[in-house]
Structures are given as C-alpha cells and as structure tokens.
Amino acid sequence: MKRRSFLKGAAATGAIVATGFPHIWNKNMDLARAADGEIKVGVLFSLTGTTGIIEESLNKATLLAIEEINDAGGINGMRLVPIVEDPASDPATFAEKARKLVVGDKCVSVFGSYTSASRKAVLPVFERRDNLYWYPTLYEGRECSKNVIYTGAVPNQQQNEFIPWLVQNFGKKFYLIGSNYIYPKEENNYCKKMLESLGGEVVNEEYVPLGHSEFSSVINKIRSSEPNVIFSTVVGDSVVALHRQYRAAGLDPQKMPMASLTTSENEVAAMGGEAAAGHFTSAPYFMVHKSPENERFVAAYKRRWGDDKVTHFVSEPSYFQVHLFKQAVEQLAPSDITPPTIREAVKGQELMAPQGHIRVDPESLHTWLWPKIAMARADGQFEVLTSSSDWLLPEPYAAYPGQSCTEAGLVQK
Ligand code: ACM
C-alpha cells in the first residue's frame, strides 16, 4: 500500500518536470533504472592503499553474492551486472568513482567502502541523484541519510555489552587509541559516555594518521600510564603494526589487553595469530559462528576465493546485503527498478544471515544485529565469549539523547 502511493508520487513528479522547466535539474529523468534484462550495480571497495587490506575482502564477498544470485537465475530472470572500481583508499577517488558509477554507468545501487571518511566523500553523489549506497561497515552513527542502507554495527551494537564487560573483567582505566578521522572520534565519544556512567577513567586519548605504522611512542605512553584496557579504533594496516609492536614490546594481554572494534579475522591473518592472541573484539559476527547459513557462507567463500581465506564482521554484511538487495528488487516489476523503489522495498526486509536473523529498520535504514564479544586465538580464529540473546536495535544517535533517525529524517524528540 505504502509502496504504491510512493510510486504514484514519483510518477507524478516525473510528469510535471517532463512538461516544462528544462532549466531545472531533473532528478527523476536522470534516475538510474534497470534495463534490457540486466541490473547494473557498482562495487566500490579499495583493492589498493591503506585499507585495501580489508576492502579487498569486501569486494570478494560482494562478488560471491552476486555470482550466487546470477547462478540461481538472477532476479526475476534479470542478471546482476557488477561494475567494479578501485578507489585506492582515497576519499577523493571514492567520490570520483561513485559519480562514474551513478551518473555514467547508471547503476541502481552501489555496494561499497570501509572507512567513514570514504562514505562521507561519496554521500553527496548518492543524495544529489537519489541513488542508493549499501554500506557494510561498522561505523560511528550520527548519520540519517535516505540514500544509504547501513548493514554494519553502530556504537550501541558494539559497545553496550563490551564496555561493562571490560570494566568488570579488567578494570576502569582505559587508554583510547584511534586513527585520526571521524569514526574513531565518535566511537570514543560513545565509549567515554559509557565509562563515565560506570565510574571509569580515560588515562589518554590519542589519534594517529591513517596508515600510521610506528607505534613506539604510543607504546611508551601506554607503559607509563598503566591502563587496564587499551581501547583501539585504529584501522587498516595500522591494526597490524600496533599488535605486532605491542607484542614485540613484551606487553601482556592478560594484564593489559587491547579491546578493539576493528580487529577482525582479516587483520589477524595479516599480523599472524600470535600477535593477536588474548586480545578482544566486539562485533556481530565471527567466522567460527555456528549456524547452517554461516557454514554455507564460509564454504562458498573458500571455494570461490581460496581455502586459506577468512570471513569476518565486515565481509559478512558485504555478502548478506547483496541478498537483501535481491529480496527487495524481486518485489518490483522490471520497469520499476530504480533506487527510490528499491529503498521502499528494502524497508523492514528480514533475512537469515550467517550471524543470525537480521532486519533492516524501516525508520533508520540501519540493521538489527547480534552483538558478540570474542577473544583472538593464536590459530587466527576467535573464541566467542558472549552472544546477545536477541537481535539489537540499531541506535545511530545513541550518543546524542533527544535525536533519532526516522523515516522523515533526523528528529529532535
Ligand atoms: C569506519 O571508518 N567506519 C571503520
């Protein structure tokens, strides 16, 4: 019912613009649309540069899902055609490639990116053309765009159980170390609020440039401030360098562990399991998760990309969001497949993902997920220590009481 009245509205706007006002930019006539038995989608993950280490695996998970859908007959008989671009871990190149995919190639959706810096860089492209960006990465929240489907965790879904658990098991003194951009700063903002409510203390808050690989002065400061927990939101190559240098400095994870929101099986494979062992991560998915859906995902991923490859908490949403896209698009008539109709159809979509039963929140376009806490093992896998008993509502404005993301946009309660 809701979708039908929306479609009527879109058609009416198109008719008005078509009869005049040629000087006004016509969003509806420029709207990307599926055609000729094909549905073009963009795949925008860095294959090179500082976050290539993780984004390359997001590209692989996305292509695997696209191939599965095509092998099973496509979407109502239409094939998905992926157009792959490498934005090389550079926000300006992300924006340029996004423009090419949306304006030039007329993709009806783009699956992409790891860092929030790159998501912020492409956002105007999607908002201006009313296109759809499918973002699989954990991020800081505080965004409410009707042009993004957010399938990764927001702070309440990674920290609500993690911070009290760390305080209880290790103590109240935290050292916050992050890469220098919006994501770590907002996550730390949330962490500080949680710590404050638990009587905790931040002994230092420090940011290093993206791609930073020399942590000796950070480690000296950690030694002298003697925190109970090192709360890490460094990303990309820096995760590997920080863990290796922590180990080389002879620090002990049993006394002063790193608690990370960004260290997955992927970074652990790059640094070697010994450097990761004994440190903690909170996320909705770990490769060892036991479910028929995850067994199928892991087996298919290894079959397609190599037996030595790992899956992790950003590749899993990269994979399931393509299947969510399929579920939404198969409800539409071929001539109706445009970004706004896909957005309407994805609202409230549910799926048995490898991590569990997930749902796209119809108000915020963020996803209900299953938080877990796990400890890295020397064999490169994680041991899951706690799992939430229910899916958890995404609250992208949890750090900003009074604000919430609704279907009508950001509102002040
Ligand atoms: C991130 O930048 N959202 C990890």
Of all protein residues, the one whose alpha carbon is nearest to atom 4 of ligand 1 is: 115
Pocket of ligand 1 (CB under 6 A): 114-116, 137-139, 183, 235, 262
For 401, residues 6+ apart whose C-beta sits below 8 A from its C-beta are none
Q: Which ligand 1 atom minimizes the distance to the CA of 233?
A: 4
Residue 178's pLDDT is: 98
Question: What is the pLDDT at residue 338?
Answer: 97
Q: What pLDDT shows up at residue 29? A: 53
Residue 230: per-residue pLDDT: 98
pLDDT at res. 30: 66
Cα–Cα distance between 144 and 393 in angstroms, integer? Answer: 15
Pseudo-torsion of CA 328, 294, 263, 150, nearest 10°? 10
Residue in 53, 58, 138, 150 to alter for ligand 1 test, most ligand atoms within 8 A of Cβ:
138
pLDDT, position 28: 54
Atom of ligand 1 nearest to the CA of 182: 2
What HEC string does the chain produce? CHHHHHHHHHHHHHHHHHCCCCCCCCHHHHCCCCECCEEEEEEECCCCCCCHHHHHHHHHHHHHHHHHHHHCCCECCEEEEEEEECCCCCHHHHHHHHHHHHHHCCCCEEEECCCHHHHHHHHHHHHHCCCCEEECCCCCCCCCCCCEEECCCCHHHHHCCHHHHHHHHHCCEEEEEEECCHHHHHHHHHHHHHHHHCCCEEEEEEEECCCCCCCHHHHHHHHHHCCCEEEEECCCHHHHHHHHHHHHCCCCCCCCCEEECCCCHHHHHHHCHHHHCCCEEEECCCCCCCCHHHHHHHHHHHHHHCCCCCCCCCHHHHHHHHHHHHHHHCCCCHHHCCHHHHHHHHCCCEEEECCEEEEECCCCCCEEECCEEEEECCCCCEEEEEECCCCECCCCCCCCCCEEEECCEEEEC
Residue nearest to atom 2 of ligand 1 (CA): 115
- C-alpha of residue 396 to centroid of ligand 1, in Å: 14
Phi, psi of 57 (to 5 degrees): -75, -25
- Where the chain has pLDDT below 50, the residues are 1-26
Give pLDDT, residue 36. Answer: 81
Q: What per-residue confidence (pLDDT) applies to 136?
A: 98
Give the distance (Å) from ligand 1 centre to CA of residue 75.
31
The whole-number pLDDT of residue 3 equals: 36
**183 C-alpha vs ligand 1 centroid, how far in Å?**
5
Whole-model pTM: value is 0.92
Is the C-alpha dihedral spanning 246, 247, 248, 250 positive or negative? positive
Cα-to-chain-centroid distance, residue 9: 32
Taken in order 55, 59, 62, 68, is the CA torsion positive or negative?
Answer: negative
Residue 227's φ and ψ, nearest 5 degrees, are: -75, 165
Q: Which amino acid is at 37?
A: G
User: Looking at ligand 1, which atom is closest to the CA of residue 235?
Assistant: 4
> In the chain, what are the domains?
3-153+290-368 (3.40.50.2300), 156-286+372-412 (3.40.50.2300)
